[in-house]
Amino acid sequence: MFKNLKSKLEDEAKKIQASVQQYSEQIQQQVGQMRSNTSDAGGSESGSNVTRRFLNTVTGSPSASKGSGQKASDNDSLNYSVGNALMEEVSEGDLLGLDLPPRERRLSGGSTHSNESSLSALFSYIPGTAGSVFDPSESDLDSTFDEVNSGVVKSANSEQVSTALFKLQNRASNYKDKYRDMVRRYNEVVTENNKCRTVLAQTQDKALKRIEKLREEKKTLSEKLAKAQSGAVDSETEAKIADYKEKLDKCVAEIKKNRTKIKELTDENEHIKQTAQGENAEQGLISLETDRVAAEWKERIDKVEEEWTARINKLETDHAIQLATTKAEMHAALENKDREIESLRSKNRALEIQDGQANERWQKKVDELQAVTRALEAEKSDMIEKLSEAKTQGVKAVQDESEKRREALEKEWQEKMEAMKEEHERAIQEKTEEFGKLQSSFDTASQNVSKLEEKLKSSQEKIELLQKEANEKAKEAEQIKVSLVQEQHSQAAHI
Give the pLDDT score at 251.
75
Cα separation of 344 and 365, whole Å? 12
Give the pLDDT score at 117.
47
Total-model pTM: 0.21
Give the pLDDT score at 24.
67
CB atoms within 10 A of CB 433: 10
152 inside domain: yes
Give the pLDDT score at 443.
80
For 11-73, give the secondary structure using H, E and C: HHHHHHHHHHHHHHHHHHHHHHHHHHHHHHHCCCCCHHHHHHHHHHHHHCCCCCCCCCCHHHH
Q: At what angle do helices 158-230 and 284-354 cross, to 10 degrees?
A: 10
Tell me 78's DSSP state: H
159 inside domain: yes
Range of the domain at 452: 5-182+443-494
Cα separation of 196 and 2, whole Å? 19
378 inside domain: no
Give the pLDDT score at 422.
86
Strand partners, 91: 107
3-state secondary structure of 127: coil
CB-neighbour burial class of residue 227 (10 A; exposed 0-12, middle 13-18, buried 19+) = exposed
121 inside domain: yes
Q: Please, which residues have CB within 8 angstroms of residue 83's CB and are 6 or more apart in sequence?
A: 57, 58, 60, 165
Q: How many domains does the chain have?
A: 1
155 inside domain: yes
pLDDT tens by residue, 388-397: 888 788 788 8
Give the pLDDT score at 3.
54
The per-residue DSSP string of 147-200 comes to HIIIIITTT--HHHHHHHHHHHHHHHHHHHHHHHHHHHHHHHHHHHHHHHHHHH
Which residue stretches of the chain have pLDDT < 70?
1-6, 8-9, 13, 17, 20, 23-24, 27-28, 30-31, 34-156, 228-237, 273, 275-290, 293-294, 348, 351-352, 355-359, 361-362, 366, 494-495
Q: Please, which residues have CB within 8 angstroms of residue 333's CB and are 6 or more apart in sequence?
A: 383, 384, 387
